[in-house]
Structure 1
Amino acid sequence: MSALHVAAVLIFLTGLAHSVLGERYILIRLFRRDNLPPLFGGTSFTTQTLRFAWHITTVAWWGFALLLWQAASGALTVRGMLEVLGYTSVLSGLLPLVLTRGRHLSWVVFFAVGAIVLWWPRV
């Protein structure tokens, strides 16, 4: 296993720990507070926005991990890189779409970026 493989595994595990531990020890405790700003009529939008913003970091790190793994394996091509970035963008868009039921409009941008990158002419 090369150093880049190790880096890929480390950043993947960091993302996993970030989501699991952050949800358990930070987000849950934060959401118990009674002074969250009520956006769009309540705190539900606020909590779900904070939740997707927290976990989107993990999605990005996992995309980085896949790029590192492909580079370490000698399999990273421009098209492969674009596919990883495109699917990472689409997955990033699913978080606000699902968690805020589409009310946080960042999903539109993430989906647009994903579509542009995935449908870019083959290099």
Structure 2
Amino acid sequence: MNTYTLSAAILCFLLGLVHSILGEYLIFKEKRIKGRFVPSKTGVELKERHLRILWATWHLTSLFGWCIGAFLIKVSLQKTSLNSDLIDFIITSTSYTMLAAALLVLLATKGKHPGWIILLLIAVLLITGS
């Protein structure tokens, strides 16, 4: 078992969970019409259809993070019995993606959103464990 990869996988799941929960609380709570699941209360600059796709995209990010976490769990637990070229590709592409995501969030938020730290940590764990 590769504990670095497993740790990165757990962080992917935790990041996705926190992302969805905090997004619902901090961003979408005030945009929801009572009794509706999908936010649809809009303002001057945002149409309802745009708000709805933003909400869906917000949660897609979490789902994709969980999917990456699931891949990483499989890799961490069975690395020796899986195709090593495929595993190297998965780890390398995920590492670079997490690193690019960390830089994107860092630059876009001027370092004020803590998500970049977790994304960077995931990348470092994957690079260290490979």
Query: Scaled by the length of structure 2, what TM-score is found?
Result: 0.48
Question: Are residue 35 (structure 1) and residue 44 (structure 2) matched?
Answer: yes
How much does 1:33 deviate?
A: 5.5
Q: 1:48 to 1:21 in 2, by over 3 A?
A: same
Which residues of structure 2 form unaligned runs of 5+? Answer: 33-40, 91-130
How much does 1:48 deviate?
A: 1.4
How much does 1:37 deviate?
A: 2.6
Partner of 2:124: none
Separation (CA, whole Å) in 1 of partners of 2:64 and 2:73: 14
**One-letter amino acid of the structure 2 residue matched with residue 35 of structure 1:** V
Which residues of structure 1 form unaligned runs of 5+? Answer: 82-123
Give the secondary structure class of the aligned counterpart of 1:71.
helix
Separation (CA, whole Å) in 2 of partners of 1:57 and 1:47: 16
**One-letter amino acid of the structure 2 residue matched with residue 68 of structure 1:** L
Structure with the bigger RCO (C-alpha within 8 Å, sep 6+) is 2
What aligned pairs does 1:82-93 form with structure 2 within 5 A after superposition? none
Assess if the C-alpha contact under 8 Å between 1:8 and 1:68 holds in 2: yes
Structure 1 segments (4+ residues) deviating >2 Å: 27-34, 75-78
**% identity of equivalent residues:** 28
Greater alpha carbon shift after TM alignment, 67-76 vs 13-22: 67-76
Deviations 1:13-46 (A, max 9, x none): 00000001111112224666522433xxxx2x22
Assess if the C-alpha contact under 8 Å between 2:6 and 2:76 holds in 1: yes
Separation (CA, whole Å) in 1 of partners of 2:6 and 2:61: 20
Separation (CA, whole Å) in 2 of partners of 1:29 and 1:60: 25
How much does 1:47 deviate?
A: 2.1
**One-letter amino acid of the structure 1 residue matched with residue 51 of structure 2:** T
What aligned pairs does 1:1-123 form with structure 2 within 5 A after superposition? 2-29=3-30, 34-38=43-47, 43=48, 45-74=49-78
Separation (CA, whole Å) in 1 of partners of 2:46 and 2:25: 21
